[in-house]
Amino acid sequence: MFLGRFFSAPEDRWLSLHFYHSCADIKQGSRLTVEARACLAEIYLQQGELEQAKQQAELCIKQADGWMDSDGQSLKLRALRALSIIYTRLAAASLAAADYDEGLKLLHQSCSIATESHHIGLDESSCVRVSEGNDAEAIRFLEKLVDICGMMPRQLAEAFLSLGHVYFTQGQYERASEFFLKTYELSCDLGDVALLQEAQVNSLFY
């Protein structure tokens, strides 16, 4: 584990992977095994190797058994947070390939995991941007996203804002204004200044 953490520079990641894999494969059933898997999931995620990252995160969650990592963080929560990001990126890839049903399914899993881990740092906005440009699919996707992220106010506000933009491009100005107003109200509740300002600008000019 120590050697895996020591080689942390980007050019040394292959060494980190080697030492973390050695720890995970040799010391089965120990806390160090589980922590090594959490580290592997995060490194593979950084490298964009999503299937490898997913495999390691899922093994970590399965084996965590209430253990904490070397910094006192819950290993299960750490792996859940990585897994929520993995599913979000897999969803974005499906949407980019115009596989909207699979994208929504993956995004739903991402939101469920994020809720379990109390991690609100998802990037559904990347999925939203991928679906825009095809108004009918964008609206279908965003309306389902509203249902999925009902318990996640920040993501819900972004979905409302994107719906406002799509309806505006279609010339449905009254409908667009409704969603900009919803974005504004949620932004006030969240105290999100950047999102609040964007909602205000859209409300004024649209």
Q: What was the pLDDT predicted at 164?
A: 84
Q: Write down the pLDDT at residue 6.
A: 41
Q: What pLDDT sits at residue 127?
A: 55
7 and 103 housed in the same domain = yes
Among 107, 122, 137, identify where a domain stops: 122
* Residue 137 included in any domain: no
Determine contact, residues 6/13, Cβ cutoff 8 Å: no
Domain count, the chain: 2
Judge if 15 and 107 occupy the same domain: yes
0.85 exceeded by pTM: no
Q: Which pLDDT value is given to residue 65?
A: 79
Residues 84 and 155 in one domain: no
Between 5 and 177, name the one with better pLDDT.
Answer: 177
Look up the domain containing 31 and give its range: 1-122
Position 70 in a domain? yes
* Residues 110, 169 within the same domain: no
Are 18 and 118 found together in one domain? yes
Q: Note the pLDDT tens digit of each residue in 131-174.
A: 555 667 677 777 777 776 665 777 778 778 888 888 888 888 88
Query: Above 70 in pLDDT, residue 130?
Result: no
pLDDT tens-digit series, residues 63-112: 887 888 888 888 898 899 899 889 888 888 887 787 877 877 887 787 77
Is residue 95 within 8 Å of 129, Cβ to Cβ?
Answer: no
Helices (H), the chain: 2-6, 13-26, 31-46, 50-63, 75-96, 100-117, 124-131, 135-148, 153-169, 173-190, 193-205
Residues 105 and 181 placed together within one structural domain of the fold: no
